[in-house]
Structure 1
Amino acid sequence: MSRFKKILDVTGLAAQRFVAHDGWAIASHIALSMLTSLFPFLILLAALAGLIGSKPLADEAGTLIFDAVPREVAKPIVGEVHRLLTEQRGGVLTLGALLALYFSSSGVESLRVGLNRAYGIREMRPWWLTRLESIGYVVCGAFAMLAFALLVVLGPLIWRQLVFVAPGLEPLALTVAIGRIGVTAFLIALVLVIAHKFVAAGRRPVLSVLPGIAVTLCLWFLAGLGFGFYLDRFSNAYASTYGGLATAMIFLVFLYWLAAMFLFGGEVNGTVIAARRQRLQARMRARQAEAAQVTVNPLP
């Protein structure tokens, strides 16, 4: 019962911190930044895939981005992504890729702002240094997506070859599919660890950011199920309200809720870290008081 009460206390304090740090407003900023950064990032993917001589790989990577998104949300967007990544652009693509390095980094910068507030830390580095760091994260993320897409493309080929050589492996196809989902979840968790540990100012041990990451992943999973269920039955509500903008609004609202849950995970970590710091300070004060008492009243 004591552990359950602690969880409730941490949840309540994290919710208060979320509101006090303007979490809803920052979440809308993150959602809009992510939406405006998405297509520049995809242009960068296409440019990098062209450099290594495999443009279809960019299309596969773009599709993978939406694998973790509910089908009802992703379906209208995937078609535009496919058109963007398979369109021939010539020299414009190179210019677009250079511009994408800057504009797509805005998404990382928005995450930095939200996490710094959640952890109660002020960014002391100059703006150009943090922007360069964000651009570095974007480039690394693009190469990681291409590498993951390559594994996804080669995976089924390798599996079919293994089944051909050893037919007894065929019943394990379901296990392999579940393993693929597990790898995707692991990559998402890894991105969250990088964001909490390195994107925000200061440095934190990995163990100290795991509670908020676990909360974020659980909330994202529930949000995906709930949002998909809602759109499957009440999709006309958005169409009747936003008309032709319904597709964009659905995706933006989904990003908004994901951003809010991401920030709440940061607030959970901030609450736990602050409580731990207070306990350490209380112990230090107690030890100092004991030492002062011994000095004033030395033992005979």
Structure 2
Amino acid sequence: MLFKSGAYRVLSDAVGHFSRDDGFAMASHVALSGLLALFPLLIFIAALAGFMGLHNAADQASSLLFDTWPQNVAQPVVNEVQRVLTEPRGDILTFGVLAALWFASNGVEALRTALNRAYRQNETRNFIFLRLQSLGLVILGAIVMIGFTFLVVLAPLAIRALTQWMPSVENFLLSIGVARYVVAGSLVTIGLFVAHWALPIGRRSFFELVPGVLATLVMWMAAGSAFGAYLASFANYVTTYGGLAGIMSALVFLYICSAAFILGGELNAALVRQRKPEPAR
């Protein structure tokens, strides 16, 4: 009974604070900023991969990024991404890449604002420091994504080596595409921990971040399955939005994911408050 009472207080605190602090409005802000940052981020990855002589890495990174999205949502966006990445660009290593970096970092700043609200924090750090941190995280994220694409390439080799000792698992592992799911899932999980640790002001331990990250992952998987099934069975976005159907479905999906992301931060903050109650006033 005590556990149930404590769990109810934590959930009530998290959901109540989400509602009182305009969580749905913040989810809209994060979703739109994320969509606006998506193409600049991939353009920067393409420029960085080209500079490193890895001309196919950008395509692999973009595919890896959308592996965690429902297929009905991801496919129209992937088509546009491929069109953007294959378009010859003469400015990609000069002004274009700087603009791409700036717009991609705006998405990071939207996440920071949402997490500061979720953790009940007022931002007091210098604007220049915050922007440099956002730019650094974009660059680091691009490098990590390029690096993880090699795991997708090397994973089939590892699977073949494994099947020399366990031949029966080869068809199973290859059929479910375990390499791509493991790599994509690892990227998402690492990204969530980095966001909760680095972006909001204040310091939280690893174990204080775990509940919100796990809750976000569970909500994302449930939302992805439910929204994908809804699009496949009921929704007709083409009739409603015409040529914008793909972008609108992506925006709605990002809105749902953003709300889950903010709720993860709210859950962590509520758990901390439960363990360290504020003194009576």
In which range does the TM-score fall when normalised by the shorter chain?
over 0.9
8 Å Cα contact 1:10-1:272 kept in structure 2: yes
8 Å Cα contact 1:56-1:86 kept in structure 2: no
8 Å Cα contact 1:43-1:93 kept in structure 2: no
Query: Is 1:6 the equivalent of 2:6?
Result: yes
In structure 2, the partner of 1:31 is 31
In structure 2, the partner of 1:222 is 222
Name the SS for the 2:122 alignment partner: coil
Whole-Å separation in 2 of the counterparts to 1:208 and 1:130: 23
Whole-Å separation in 2 of the counterparts to 1:34 and 1:260: 13
8 Å Cα contact 2:105-2:135 kept in structure 1: yes
How far off its partner does 1:154 sit? 2.6
How far off its partner does 1:175 sit? 4.2
Whole-Å separation in 2 of the counterparts to 1:82 and 1:108: 23
Query: Is 1:90 the equivalent of 2:56?
Result: no
Range with bigger deviation, 181-190 or 134-143: 181-190
CA offset digits 1:122-173 (Å, max 9, x no partner): 111111210110000000000000001122123224544x379x37535344
Query: Is 1:55 the equivalent of 2:55?
Result: yes
Query: Is 1:192 the equivalent of 2:192?
Result: yes
Whole-Å separation in 1 of the counterparts to 2:186 and 2:101: 26
In structure 2, the partner of 1:171 is 169
8 Å Cα contact 2:65-2:184 kept in structure 1: no
Whole-Å separation in 1 of the counterparts to 2:123 and 2:235: 41
Range with bigger deviation, 60-69 or 166-175: 166-175
1:59–1:253 Cα change, 3 Å:
same
Name the SS for the 2:277 alignment partner: helix
Name the SS for the 2:94 alignment partner: helix
1:178–1:60 Cα change, 3 Å:
closer
Structure 1 residue identity aligned to 2:189: A
Percent identical among aligned pairs is: 44
Structure 2 residue identity aligned to 1:250: S
TM-score, normalised to structure 1's length?
0.87
In structure 2, the partner of 1:111 is 111
Structure with greater proportional helix content: 1
Range with bigger deviation, 87-96 or 11-20: 87-96
Whole-Å separation in 2 of the counterparts to 1:182 and 1:163: 16
TM-score, normalised to structure 2's length?
0.92
Query: Is 1:20 the equivalent of 2:20?
Result: yes
Structure 1 residue runs without a partner (length 5+): 283-300
1:69–1:274 Cα change, 3 Å:
same
Name the SS for the 1:278 alignment partner: coil
Query: RMSD in angstroms over aligned alpha carbons?
Result: 2.1
Structure 2 residue runs without a partner (length 5+): none
Whole-Å separation in 2 of the counterparts to 1:51 and 1:154: 22
In structure 1, the partner of 2:260 is 261
Query: Is 1:274 the equivalent of 2:269?
Result: no
How far off its partner does 1:243 sit? 2.1
Higher relative contact order (CA 8 A, sep 6+): 2
CA offset digits 1:249-289 (Å, max 9, x no partner): 1100100010011001111111111222217x58xxxxxxx
8 Å Cα contact 1:55-1:86 kept in structure 2: no
Structure 1 residue identity aligned to 2:228: G
Q: Which has the larger radius of gyration?
A: 1
Query: Is 1:244 the equivalent of 2:243?
Result: yes
8 Å Cα contact 2:213-2:264 kept in structure 1: yes
Structure 1 residue identity aligned to 2:169: P
In structure 2, the partner of 1:296 is none
Whole-Å separation in 1 of the counterparts to 2:169 and 2:208: 40
In structure 1, the partner of 2:133 is 133
Query: Is 1:45 the equivalent of 2:45?
Result: yes
8 Å Cα contact 2:10-2:267 kept in structure 1: yes
Name the SS for the 2:143 alignment partner: helix
Name the SS for the 2:181 alignment partner: helix
How far off its partner does 1:91 sit? 3.3
8 Å Cα contact 1:70-1:225 kept in structure 2: yes
8 Å Cα contact 2:152-2:183 kept in structure 1: no
Number of residue pairs the alignment of both structures matches: 279
Name the SS for the 1:53 alignment partner: coil
How far off its partner does 1:223 sit? 0.0
